[in-house]
Structure 1
Amino acid sequence: MRDTRESRLLLVLLVAIAFALITVDIRGGEASPVDSARHAAATVFGPVENGVADAVNPVGNAIGAVRDSGDRHDRISALQRENAALKQQLGSSARNRSRVRQLDTMLKTAARGQYGIKGAQVIAIGAAQGFSWTVTIDAGSADGILRNMTVLNGDGLVGRVTTVGPHTATVLLANDPDFTVGTRMENTDELGFATGRGDRPLAVQLLNGKADVKKGDRLVTFGSSNDKPFVPGVPVGQVIRVDPSRGDLTRTVYVHPFVGFTKLDLVGVVVEPPRENPRDTVLPAKPAKPKPAPTVTVTVTPSGNPDPNADAAPDANAAPDANADPNGDADPNGNADPNADANVPQ
């Protein structure tokens, strides 16, 4: 349509009529003169609006779903992160309880031996440093750690410090083939040298070839000069096999170490040796021997009331009755008859 003067006048007129109808409808309220026209329009155009809404709503819902999918994805991601955090927290609680037990046991061991220790955590294993059995701990020279210091945990001897950095140190484990430590047998004081054999039991060469040693005997460290690299009294292990004595100057036994070298976590480096040799006091208490179970013996005793119906057999060795009637006429009461003729030989 061309923009002419007549069209502009028609547009102004329609706008004026619309405002007039709106004003009349508002003032009329429920009695509005255009109310009937509104109802008629609703009757005519209502079904059309519903049909259009039914057709358009799925599209609108799809658009809304696409628009909300980002928020839902973010919410799912947040829930997944919360779930992972809760699982980690539960795992951390179990690990913390385990570390508390390890620390408590280690402190008790250090107290029995009067060792001054510096606690540390194993942060790496020997694969990064070669094929030897070594671990790296998170304590170094800044923490007072020096070479050739004894390393232990709550179970016993772990190893000795070999290299030291400012904040880390390397520990050679007691099961390494290059590891050797002087040992002393519990109670008998037999001396020897224990050597690591990897994942096999330690081999201990006793200096006395005739030493009286048996399975179950326990060993501790003998100690070194100036307590380096080993302080005395640290539990080493328990004898599991004894080679037969062949008259040699030495004797070899095999010892299962107290420490589990494949599951090390918290360790203690002995930075202050004991004032006195603790001897065997650091060894754990031996389990109590089980008491033998009492045995019950049942003895069957015959009854004192014989069976009245049983026929008693005459005793062939029974002595004759002194009151028996020689003539066989016995008195019912068991007394001999005074008037009976005695059978006296003439």
Structure 2
Amino acid sequence: MRDTRESRLLLVLLIAIAFALITVDIRAGEESPVDGARQAAAAVFGPVEKGMATAVDPVANAIGAVRDSDQRHSRIATLERENTALKAKLGSDDQTRSRIHELDQMLKRAGAGQYGIKGAEVIAIGAAQGFSWTVTIDAGSKDGIERDMTVLNGDGLVGRVTTVGPDTATVVLANDPDFTVGTRLEKTGELGFATGQGDRALSVQMLNGKAKVNPGDRLVTFGSRGNKPFVPGVPIGEVVKVDPSRGDLTRTVWVRPFVGFSRLDIVGVVVMPPREDPRDAVLPPKPEAPKPTPTVTVTVTPSAGASVKPADE
């Protein structure tokens, strides 16, 4: 455009109009008559401005990307922590349910035998006082625990107390080679002595060499009056093998203990013996033998009008 008188008048006019619009916008405040035009301009030029800003300001763009990445990683880390905590909680709940079940089973055994027991937790396992199979429990003389008291759990006989401290006690397990307990055979009442064999079945010497013993028969402690050395009626195990009788005065049978000695957790120390021998009352009911499946004979009768030919035709 040439620098003419008309162009200068047009420039002055445009400047005057611009100042007039600015004055109207300022005086109108929030309800400016030019808002519509401003919004339209923003809609048209906004995306262009954003693209240009991104193109001309890569440093700001990189900072934003790092910030978003940090937020994402932070969220992932938070989720991972929450998942880990949830898994730990579920594991803890499962363990709690398992221990509650163990305690419930032990209380049922104690109730059936009328034993007064002090519950305890196994806090250590290992050799002690020359014994090869022992555990340490978190109950001691302050809890009324004394030497030679019988220890059981929900499955049966665990062992006996050997050493007592103020807050803890050592228990020698029934499968220790130096452990011996008097036994009584279920129903028949045949007596014997069980000796630990480590991780193998208990060895039981039946006092009657002609005693009739079969695999599957169960044994309990026969005990004696008072709390020592063992209370009567505590389940020991099930016969798995019977040595042949050779006319000896005694007879050897092998018994699988009910208790899993490698996974002990909750136990009970019998601090009060029963008034009477519970006999077989503490043993759980034997599972019923499966009933034989009835044999069904199907007879096929030829339908009317059908003919059956002999096999040799």
Q: What TM-score does the superposition give when structure 2 sets the normalisation length?
A: 0.75
**Would the alpha carbon gap of residues 128 and 189 (structure 1) be closer, same or farther in structure 2, given more than 3 Å must change?**
closer
Gaps (5+ residues) in structure 2?
A: 1-17, 27-40, 302-313
Q: Supply the AA of the counterpart residue of 2:23.
A: R
Q: Is the 8 A contact 2:227 2:271 kept in 1?
A: no
Structure 2 partner of 1:289: 289
CA distance in 2, matches of 1:237, 1:149: 20
| Amino acid in the other structure paired with 1:249 | L
**Identity level (%):** 74
RMSD of Structure 2 on Structure 1 (CA): 3.4
Task: Look up the match of 1:106.
Answer: 106
CA 23–272 in structure 1, closer or farther in 2 if over 3 Å, else same: farther
Contact 2:227 2:272 in 1 (8 A): no
- Residue matched to 1:90: 90
Amino acid at match of 2:97: R
Please say which of residues 68-77 and 260-269 is displaced more in the overlay: 68-77
C-alpha distance in 1 between matches for 2:157 and 2:70:
58
Q: How far has the Cα of 1:247 moved from its partner?
A: 1.6
How far the C-alpha of 1:106 sits from its partner, in A, is 1.1
Q: How far does residue 280 in structure 1 lie from its aligned partner after superposition?
A: 1.0
Q: Distance in 1 between matches of 2:131 and 2:56?
A: 72
Partner of 1:75: 75
**Distance verdict in 2 for CA 1:166–1:24, change over 3 Å:** farther
Letter in 1 for 2:181: V
- Distance across 1 between alignment mates of 2:112 and 2:282: 5
Deviation per CA, 1:154-189: give whole Å up to 9, x if none: 111011111222222221111111111111111221
**2:23 is matched with which residue?**
27
Residues 28 and 117 of structure 1: is their aligned pair in 2 closer, same or farther, counting only changes over 3 Å? Answer: same
Looking at structure 1, the residues matched to 55 and 107 of structure 2 have their Cα atoms a distance apart, in angstroms, of 77
Shift of the 191–292 alpha-carbon distance from structure 1 to 2, 3 Å rule, reads same
Q: How much has 1:285 moved relative to structure 2?
A: 1.0
1:224 Cα deviation after fit: 3.7
Alpha-carbon distance, 1:24 to partner: 7.4
TM-score normalised to the size of structure 1?
Answer: 0.69
CA distance in 2, matches of 1:110, 1:50: 79
Paired AA for residue 211 in structure 2: A
The Cα of 1:52 is off from its aligned counterpart by 6.1
For residues 50 and 212 of structure 1, what CA distance do their matches in structure 2 show? Answer: 97
How far the C-alpha of 1:299 sits from its partner, in A, is 9.1
SS across alignment from 1:279: coil
Query: For each residue in 1:109-166, what CA deviation from the matched residue of structure 2 results, as whole angstroms up to 9, or x when unmatched?
Result: 1111000111122222216887711122222222222221111111110111112222
Aligned residue for 1:236, secondary structure, equals strand
Tell which has more relative contact order, 1 or 2 (C-alpha 8 A, sep 6+). Answer: 2
Distance 1:131 1:179, change over 3 A: closer
Aligned to 2:7: none
Distance 1:259 1:196 in 2: 13
The Cα offsets for residues 60-80 of structure 1, whole Å up to 9 and x where unpaired, read as 122234456555444333222
Report the Cα distance in structure 1 between the residues aligned to 2:141 and 2:129, rounded to whole angstroms.
19
Which residue in 2 is equivalent to 1:121? Answer: 121
SS in 2 for 1:121: strand
3-state SS, counterpart of residue 177 of structure 1: coil
Q: Please tell me the residue identity of whatever aligns with 1:89.
A: K
Tell me the distance in 1 between the aligned counterparts of 2:57 and 2:192.
Answer: 90
- For residues 316-335 of structure 1, the C-alpha deviation after alignment (integer angstroms, 9 at most, x for no partner) is xxxxxxxxxxxxxxxxxxxx
Structure 1, residues 226-270: CA drift from partner, whole Å, max 9, x if none? 321310000001111111111222111000111111222211111
Shift of 1:300: 11
**SS where residue 260 of structure 2 aligns?**
coil
Asked whether 1:227 is paired with 2:223, we answer no
Matched residue, 1:58: 58
- The 8 Å contact of residues 206 and 250 in structure 2, kept in 1 or not, is answered as yes
Q: One-letter code of the match for 1:180?
A: T
Pairing 1:183-198 to 2, within 5 Å after superposition: 183-198=183-198
Aligned partner letter, 2:263 = K
Q: Which runs of 5+ in 1 are unaligned?
A: 1-21, 31-41, 302-346
- 2:141 maps to a residue whose letter is S
Q: 2:207–2:251: 8 Å Cα contact kept in structure 1?
A: yes
Aligned length: 270
> 1:330 matched to which residue of 2?
none
Q: Which amino acid aligns with 1:198?
A: G
- Partner-residue secondary structure (3-state), 1:229: coil
Shift of 1:28: 5.2
Give the counterpart letter for 2:257 in structure 1. Answer: P
Structure 1 residues 165 and 70, CA gap change in structure 2 (3 angstroms): farther
Q: Measured at CA, do residues 56 and 181 of structure 1 come closer, stay the same or move farther in structure 2, by a change above 3 Å?
A: farther
2: CA distance between counterparts of 1:190 and 1:50? 97
Shift of 1:89: 1.5
Task: Name the CA distance, whole Å, in 2 between partners of 1:87 and 1:110.
Answer: 35
Q: Deviations over 1:265-300 (max 9, x none)?
A: 211111111011111111111122333444567899
Deviation digits for residues 75-105 of structure 1 (CA, Å, limit 9, x no counterpart) = 3332222111111111122222222221211
Q: Please say if residues 184 and 220 of structure 2, whose CA atoms lie closer than 8 Å, have aligned partners that are also in contact.
A: yes
SS of the residue aligned with 2:290? coil
